[in-house]
Structure 1
């Protein structure tokens, strides 16, 4: 009975709870319906845009801390390697280090002397020594001598020559400044032996004083600076005088400056060049010749570097003063050059247009032609422009080349012309056997080519040639200027001891004009053409050790009887043998 009552009570309770839950759900649904009915449309203004941000995150540790004492204990792990030998028949070869063959270090000496003797009673001496005063200072001495007692076939006058030069130099080098002081003296003796092909009596020939002596003394300095707007420069003073009481002074001052503006280099060269002197007589013997010429100028240039292109924009402005004739003038010249690498060092194109006021001097004339008369009219040459276009580079790693075409316009260019035959017993240069400088406006077109080949490290070969085409204004010809010049050279180190070399020169035809003073002869004025010639020279030598070597030189091997200047034949086949010795002094 109690069991039935308890069951009935449980059923009633469950039924009551279910009805109560259903009633609550109905009430919630009614409330939602009321809220839906009360929602209305409104405008929402967003004052600040939503900017999402990443909340702070905590990095999970790779090794979490555990409080479990059992888990925190590390278990010991034991490793065991089961190794056993493996039989092998391979035996590696022993390696050898590759060795480089070292070249024998050449012993350097501070002094050498070379002496040679040859036919025509020829003597040659070359001496040089360099003494180290300190780590940064050295003192150099150089002495050179070349002479011959002559003996040219068919020459009636003395044809010997003598040339000795002494050079002294003090050199001081430092990190930012290097300079060189120099002093020198040169003594030269030459003879006006080139008589024209006319009949002279033995008495007339004996009365000719054909010897001329030149003395040259100079002092100067060269300066080179680093990390300064003053790059350096040079200064030179030269005094020249001869046996006929002629004298000349020359002073050259050329400082150079360099500044950088906006990343570009601007170079400026200051050029001051003075030459002045006197000749005791003019060629007619009616008076002396005095000259005093100053050129002063400045040459600024802008250097532009752009990858493979290098351009130099410049100009030169000169003032020329002739104080003896009370004349002065201003000259402006272009100085523009460019270079472009078309293919690295293999093909380089270059071009330029440049001009200059070239100072002429008695000394320069004599060094070009030893048979000048001491009766010169000295004047500068106005080279208006020299325009050129060329290409250079390398055909292979051991073959280089250079080709160029140019056009030059020069006013008052000096040309050497043989003097008039007008004998004077007091002057040995009046027998048509000396030369005078005449001036004319000349334009020149030239084509130049050059190639150099390093066949091996011991064998080098080179050749070059240049063709000229001259156009004169007043003179009939460009006197004594060849149309073609060419040369070939070769040097060969045959063995460690034997060495040899050769060079060949070719000079094309030249023209000159032989004139006679009225009443001296019955011969008329004549233009002569000097034949072209080839001069073949060679040398061979043997080194006994690093101190002593012997050599033999042969000149004019073809034995040609050519004339470099009209009526002046040269020595034919010449041979010179000698030795060179090096030592520490």
Structure 2
């Protein structure tokens, strides 16, 4: 079976790389920054020029489209570094907002996914979506439960008025899984390894048609609670003020002036172990001016943060910290031609590390974390990007920065050395955040190539090297990762084929060897290895969708086709080769 799958992969790659005729239909912008909305809802302005100061009525007639992430194709259980990434390509220009799809696969995988929206009177649009994915996990690898169920239910409302457009969206997310990564012990019997995270988000956004003075306002909120009674409440508000397109005489240079005013508040309380508690309140100002002529520009600005932080736990009385930060913000681009645009700059900033964000990166962290913000004091970068005949787009850059309190994850050992009433997180199977100061060097690049109107090829590469003050190596961060992809339509656009390959190098981690001593009351002794390795991986994925009718199609997804049961974190193997098939109905 594995040989057949590999043959199909090679065959598809051969088909995807065929021909090089210069048919120019697709245009793509590299590294476009997107405002994060409700998960799986992506805001896209379609058929609107990227100019904000055109007649309000004309702009108000152009709706904001929402596309729903159809299938997270590599959605094992929280073990894959590509959790939540959709590697299934979409039919361009033919997607409908209203659809329902259902799929089943090996490992007991079940997918239910749907979206519905309706435009009402007075330019109101309402919609909702649901996404449920479950798997039985690796029953042949572990004697204990390793299954997972994740669900997201969202709803949104759009309103288009005379002066601006308004959006509000809400989402409930559930992750129900297990701390199954036990590698240093051999427990027997049924174990309670359950972790469950509930999170509710409400986001609001108002965009004025004219960018005179007040440009837009964003409000985001999040409420999280897990199985161990950890609670986190978060709210952020951002207002952008601007004055754009001010002509400076007859020089042909335009001036844009912007000011961002932000507020972030996060309160987190944990109920187990040290019972850490933290409270952050941060206000920020980001003034900047941009001088632009054609595709060349110079941006000068600063970022100011005013942080009020409080931390406490059972071992530590409350610590208070009030601090003001300043960060440089500058960037230039010299456009010799559209094919060659040289750019560079410097930036920095303060990132509040929250429990919710940590769970997105590593769901197997202990439900008790000491939270600190990460400060990027400065980050210099230079790069080259361009568009060659609308057939090849590229962006390459290199950077160097200095950071304080870089956050990464260290493996936990046993929290006690007895074998009685061991908790779900007390098998050397969880991780905790640790912090260190240091320097970071990075090289990254991305390329998109359009050899045919119905073929798109893309590749990304990132190299990141940390030089830390106290730790010899950063844990659980690969030195190198990359991806390649292809999207090919055929049979009069009825058949859509996709390929995605994701690669990562080895990662250094710490780990524990545990030995039981004595009887009948066993005492466990552990030895830490601070230079263990978690192997790299190559994860190859194929997808296909065939439209039998304009409202009905069938699809199939093949994930991790090399059947590599690599580990994303020590002890946590991912699912092997997965095949999922199903039907999709649009209406």
Give the TM interval when normalised to the shorter protein: 0.7 to 0.9
2:490 corresponds to 1:507: no
2:340 corresponds to 1:370: no
SS in 2 for 1:525: strand
Q: Give 1:494's aligned residue.
A: 490
Identify the match of residue 256 of structure 2 among 262, 265, 272: 265
Q: Give 1:27's aligned residue.
A: none
Cα separation, partners in 2 of 1:349 and 1:126, compared to 1, 3 Å? same
For normalisation by structure 2, the TM-score amounts to 0.77
Q: Which has the higher strand share?
A: 2
Mapped partners of 2:95, 2:307: distance in 1: 49
CA-to-aligned-CA distance 1:461-494 (integer Å, 9 cap, x gap): 1111111221111123110010110100000002
Mapped partners of 1:193, 1:517: distance in 2: 17
Indicate if the aligned counterparts of 1:107 and 1:546 stay in contact, CA closer than 8 A: no
2:571 corresponds to 1:577: no
Q: Give 2:528's aligned residue.
A: 525
Mapped partners of 2:355, 2:152: distance in 1: 18
Q: Give 2:77's aligned residue.
A: none
Q: Give 1:544's aligned residue.
A: 548
Indicate if the aligned counterparts of 2:514 and 2:525 stay in contact, CA closer than 8 A: no
C-alpha displacement of 1:522 = 4.4
List gaps (5 residues or longer) in structure 2: 1-91, 249-254, 312-318, 518-522
Identify the match of residue 337 of structure 1 among 327, 331, 336: 331
Q: Give 2:340's aligned residue.
A: 347
Matches within 5 A, 1:34-433: 109-134=96-121, 136-200=123-187, 202=188, 205-206=189-190, 208-227=191-210, 228-259=212-243, 263=248, 264-282=255-273, 287-324=274-311, 325-343=319-337, 345-423=338-416, 425=421, 427-433=423-429
Deviates more, 1:531-540 or 1:521-530: 521-530
2:489 corresponds to 1:485: no
SS in 2 for 1:417: strand
C-alpha displacement of 1:400 = 1.1
Q: Give 1:446's aligned residue.
A: 442
Mapped partners of 1:341, 1:245: distance in 2: 54
Q: Which has the higher contact order (CA 8 A, sep 6+)?
A: 2
Mapped partners of 2:543, 2:294: distance in 1: 45
SS in 2 for 1:478: coil
Indicate if the aligned counterparts of 1:152 and 1:570 stay in contact, CA closer than 8 A: no
Mapped partners of 2:553, 2:482: distance in 1: 31
Cα separation, partners in 2 of 1:335 and 1:534, compared to 1, 3 Å? same
Indicate if the aligned counterparts of 1:190 and 1:370 stay in contact, CA closer than 8 A: no
Indicate if the aligned counterparts of 1:106 and 1:546 stay in contact, CA closer than 8 A: no
Indicate if the aligned counterparts of 1:351 and 1:389 stay in contact, CA closer than 8 A: yes
Q: Give 2:316's aligned residue.
A: none
Mapped partners of 1:269, 1:156: distance in 2: 53
Mapped partners of 2:192, 2:93: distance in 1: 52
List gaps (5 residues or longer) in structure 1: 1-104
How large is the RMSD of aligned CA atoms in angstroms? 1.9
